Homo-oligomer: A and B are copies of this chain.
């Protein structure tokens, strides 16, 4: 039930929200600032600030330090689950990502590779005995220099240790092409998706604006005889992606 007389800052926020919904204010437009709102509505600075912070926390406007507040532009990357993981792509030596990004400048940084005992949920996903060794590849993906995604892959050390999979540069076609060469080609994938607000460390590493949730995508890659060969835990900037899946009835 709606409060019969909402506080003034909520009324101001609602007026701005309507202006954005109607297109009166559109992508990238400057939103009236604190001074504008104080004059227009005859309110104190704290009230104007509170109205703006409601919209910032809803993620529909973005504050740019020393500049102002702007309507958020949502131009997401389409991430097509089945198509981007088709064998034609990694089989031909292309990075999976290229399926989505066409010819935009794509890069990975902060790459680390280490070997460790499998954490419990990883052992479960990969159907390994407890404490079995795994190779852990962590990296961050950027598109046009903008951080988009954090990814951590876990592979059984028995398969991956000492191979190109454990190198910083896995070579053309990446992990999946190397697995195929080793006789463990991925044939089936399961992706599980959940959504949540980011931790402060993720806000920093993905350079997220306020009011931006993240998508967790957990992918398990299985061979044709249904052995799990990789678990990839991805954390995606929720404002940067549309995920697409096609399937049959």
Contacts and interface: CB of A to CB of B under 8 A. Distances in A.
A248 B188 contact: yes
State the copy count for this chain. Answer: 2
Nearest to A189: B247
Given A196-B59, A197-B213, A199-B58, A245 B242 contact: no
A17 B199 CA distance: 9
Interface string A158-194: 0000000000000000001000000001111111111
A188 B82 CA distance: 14
Given A211-B197, A213-B196, A238-B213, A190 B246 contact: yes
Interface in A116-162: none
12 contacts: A59-B196, A59-B197, A60-B197, A85-B247, A187-B248, A187-B249, A189-B248, A191-B245, A193-B245, A194-B242, A195-B195, A195-B238
